[in-house]
Amino acid sequence: MSKLFESIKLGSLTLANRIVIAPMCQYSAEHGKATSWHHAHLGQLSFSGAGLLILEATAVEDVGRISPQDLGLWNDETEEAMASLVTSLRENSDIPLGIQLGHAGRKASCYAPWEGGTQISAKLGGWQTVAPSAVGFADTDNAPEAMSLERISALKQAFVDSAKRADKLGFDLIELHGAHGYLLHQFLSPLSNQRTDQYGGSLENRMRLLLEIYQELRQVFSANKPIGVRISATDWVPGGWDVEQSIELSKALEKLGCSYIHVSSGGLSTQQKIAVGPNYQVPFAQSIKQAVDIPVIAVGLITEPEQAEAIVSTGQADMIALARGVLYNPRWPWHAAAKLGAKVSAPKQYWRSEPHNVKGLFDVK
């Protein structure tokens, strides 16, 4: 029996298997509103047979967008567009749907990757970014505005408001984005957080904002629905955020009832030096899993079914997440089930596609 295709619970949500489709920015929204691209993109992924589909990083404020084309959920217009998207997905698939709520902080106001990804100047339609401290991401960036306590309070309310909208829309899960150098990660790392108040300095202070936001989301999102957190386990820069601090954060989140930890790395500093290769981030997930009892998701060049099976069957992580690999092969879970002798969910309209040599692949109900 394949461990990868065993069910697992995140809080009270049961997933059919341990394959997660990770949030992947599409830079294809209009003023924060989901477009036909999102219907097509997420529609095909909803047929993948994965246990969970998490929508891309969704900004809780307009100034929290990475690019002008980022998805958002901060007003009635963005909620209405998201409602149409969710309805479309629900009509054709029963895959559990999550949404990742985030804020880009000092990494906001940038062009889409295929347009260079650099910061957009105010004269060309960019906007003033915010951060824990007035320290830019790149040397060429305009300095972000250091957030006042009042501004931090407004940020927390923005996360709460977006979580309420997500709950009303029927999302099964929220993932709080504390990774990849975006705002909550900026508060965590001493490289970007140079504050001297209660949100800076000590590890306890640098973790404070993320933990406060988690607690506030937990109060407004339905109690029977899980909330997890994505983190970057390390900045890959000496003196920055690291695995030891990530373990302490994960322990603190576990005490607060967090449903899972989704472990990535990097994204905070242009000085990062990353040795990329198959499973290159899995050891971070393994270290955190050894320290907490809640589920841990591993990522990082996981491309082969046997590779994913080994990660979960040996206890390095409880689940694996796919991003670019599932864009390249949107039926990855089908192919993995065929390789590992497991069953997978598929739309009835596709049952006839089952190859003769893997009869019984589709979980026909």
| pLDDT in the model for residue 204 | 98
Residue 192, pLDDT > 90, answer yes
Q: What is the mean pLDDT of residues 279-298?
A: 98
Average pLDDT, the chain: 97
**The pair of three-digit structure tokens given for residue 281, joined into one six-digit string:** 């981030």
* CA neighbours closer than 13 Å in the CB half-sphere of residue 291: 20
103 located within any domain: yes
Q: What is the pLDDT of residues 73-105, one digit of tens each?
A: 999 999 999 999 999 999 999 999 999 999 999
Q: What is the mean pLDDT of residues 107-115?
A: 98
Q: In the annotation, is 280 catalytic?
A: no
Spatial separation of the C-alpha atoms in residues 359 and 356, rounded to whole Å: 5
Spatial separation of the C-alpha atoms in residues 177 and 232, rounded to whole Å: 10
| pLDDT band with cut points at 50, 70 and 90 for residue 150 | very high
Residue 32, pLDDT > 80, answer yes
Q: What is the mean pLDDT of residues 184-204?
A: 98
Q: Are 167 and 254 in contact (CB under 8 A)?
A: no
Q: Which domain holds residue 283?
A: 8-358
122 located within any domain: yes
| pLDDT in the model for residue 310 | 98
363 located within any domain: no
Encode the chain in three state secondary structure. Answer: CCCCCCCEEECCEEECCCEEECCCCCCCCECCECCHHHHHHHHHHHCCCCCEEEEEEEECCHHHCCCCCCCECCCHHHHHHHHHHHHHHHHHCCCCEEEEEECCHHHCCECCHHHCCCECCHHHCCCCCEECCCCCCCCCCCCCEECCHHHHHHHHHHHHHHHHHHHHHCCCEEEEEECCCCHHHHHHCCCCCCCCCCCCCCHHHHHHHHHHHHHHHHHHCCCCCCEEEEEECCCCCCCCCCHHHHHHHHHHHHHCCCCCEEEECCCCCCCCCCCCCCCCCHHHHHHHHCCCCCCEEECCCCCCHHHHHHHHHCCCCCEEEECHHHHHCCCHHHHHHHHHCCCECCCHHHHHHCCHHHCCCECCC
Lowest-confidence region among 85-89, 291-295, 361-365: 361-365
Domain count, the chain: 1
64 located within any domain: yes
| pLDDT in the model for residue 296 | 98
Residue 340: exposure state from Cβ atoms within 10 A (0-12, 13-18, ≥19): middle
| pLDDT in the model for residue 86 | 98
| pLDDT in the model for residue 330 | 97
Residue 337, pLDDT > 80, answer yes
3 located within any domain: no
The alpha carbon of 360 is separated from its chain's Cα centroid by a whole number of angstroms, namely: 33
Set 111, 182, 214, 260: catalytic member: 182
Spatial separation of the C-alpha atoms in residues 198 and 200, rounded to whole Å: 6
Match 């990494």 to its residue by tokens.
107
Residue 365, pLDDT > 90, answer no
| pLDDT in the model for residue 188 | 98
Q: Are 347 and 89 in contact (CB under 8 A)?
A: no
Q: What is the pLDDT of residues 302-327, one digit of tens each?
A: 999 999 999 999 999 999 999 999 99
Q: Are 242 and 227 in contact (CB under 8 A)?
A: no
116 located within any domain: yes
Residue 152, pLDDT > 80, answer yes
365 located within any domain: no
Residue 356: exposure state from Cβ atoms within 10 A (0-12, 13-18, ≥19): exposed
Spatial separation of the C-alpha atoms in residues 232 and 249, rounded to whole Å: 11
CATH code: domain of residue 104? 3.20.20.70
Spatial separation of the C-alpha atoms in residues 51 and 67, rounded to whole Å: 29
Hey, what amino acid is at 135?
V
Return all residues near 50 (Cβ < 8 A) that are at least 6 apart: 17, 19, 20, 21, 95, 322, 326, 332, 333
53 located within any domain: yes
| pLDDT in the model for residue 364 | 84
Residue 179, pLDDT > 90, answer yes
**Percentage with pLDDT > 90 across the chain:** 98
Q: Are 325 and 26 in contact (CB under 8 A)?
A: no
